[in-house]
Amino acid sequence: MNASDGGDAWAGVDPDDAGAVVARALELHHPAIALASSFSMEDCILMDLLARRRKDARVFALDTGRLNPETYECAEAMGARCGLRVEWFFPQREPVEGLERGKGLFSFRESVENRRECCGIRKVEPLGRALAGLRAWITGLRRGQGVTRTDLRVVEPDAAHGGIAKISPLAGWTFDRVKAYVRDHKLPYNRLYDQGYTSIGCAPCTRALRPGEDERAGRWWWESPDHKECGLHLRPGP
């Protein structure tokens, strides 16, 4: 932590101690802070850490209309386990209908621009509504997830959303550490992980990994790794 991460408010917090990061984030920002959960293993860990500190901690999720059944099952199981209420946000009906009527059901596979258009409608716009009125949000991002996240900080201003604080308590964790926490604490998790998935988004845009591939190779596998962000996690330029 340093001055650019929020000044003295984070002094003394070990950035590798996810529980301490979550506790300080709640202390500073609750109730104007929420976890954005896609019910990845990382997000399940964060739900567990939140619930251990506040049962009224806020969690929201984006239902794009194209999630896997296993994701919904994990959402129900984690909500029951943690006792946290999940606030669901959906895309606006008219843009979804316009996209599918005008370009079909799989236009996102035709170009990066088309894929970003779909993500913008199904994810980015609902996220903007979910973050409205918040001072901070919590994510399950990690540096090891791909080349677009290697410089991720635990706490940083989110320029794409008015400069609110973006907090990633697991930024320095490895995937092995994530799996160990889930196992040791017997947390529910998305069963697609057992089929070789390591990053799970919309069903048509996600597949299991092949031998030797990196963690996010199963997301938008027809694109270059440099493009593998949907727009939810835009990073500042140099």
Asked whether 44 and 74 are in contact (CB, 8 A), the reply is yes
Strands (E), 81-154: 86-89, 136-138
Residue with the two structure tokens 């964060």: 46
Instruction: Give residue 73's pLDDT.
Output: 98
Check if 118 is active-site: no
Cite the beta strand spans of the chain per DSSP E.
Answer: 33-36, 58-62, 86-89, 136-138, 155-158, 164-167
**Model pLDDT, residue 58:** 98
- What residue type is assigned to position 25 of the chain? A
Buried b (16+ CB within 10 A) or exposed e, 159-182: ebbeebbbbbbbbbbeeeebeebb
pLDDT at 229: 53
Domain regions of the chain by residue span:
3-227
Of 82, 119, 205, 230, catalytic: 230
Provide the pLDDT for residue 87.
Answer: 98
Instruction: With both helix axes pointing from N to C terminus, report the angle between 41-53 and 69-82 in degrees, rounded to the nearest 10.
Output: 20
Separation between Cα atoms, residue 7 and residue 30, nearest integer Å: 18
**Where do we find the tokens 């005008």?**
102
Closest CA relative to residue 45, chosen from 13, 9, 17, 70? 17
CA distance to 18, 25, 68, 215, 232, per residue, from 228 (Å):
25, 28, 19, 11, 11
Which three-class secondary structure string do you get for 29-44? HCCCEEEECCCCHHHH
Say what the pLDDT of residue 14 is: 97
The single residue listed with the structure tokens 């984690």 is: 78
Give the pLDDT score at 146. Answer: 77
C-alpha 118/C-alpha 95 separation (Å) is 9
* Per-residue confidence (pLDDT) for residue 237, from 0 to 100: 43
- Provide the residue-wise pLDDT of the chain in tens; the chain has 238 residues: 543 455 689 999 999 999 999 999 999 999 999 999 999 999 999 999 999 999 999 999 999 999 999 999 999 999 999 999 999 999 999 999 999 999 999 999 999 999 999 999 999 999 999 999 999 999 999 998 877 778 999 999 999 999 999 999 999 999 999 999 999 999 999 999 999 999 999 999 999 999 888 888 888 888 877 655 554 545 444 4
The pLDDT assigned to 7 comes to 60
pTM, two decimal places: 0.89
**Which option is the CATH number for 3-227: 3.40.50.620, 3.30.420.40, 3.40.1260.10, 2.130.10.10?**
3.40.50.620
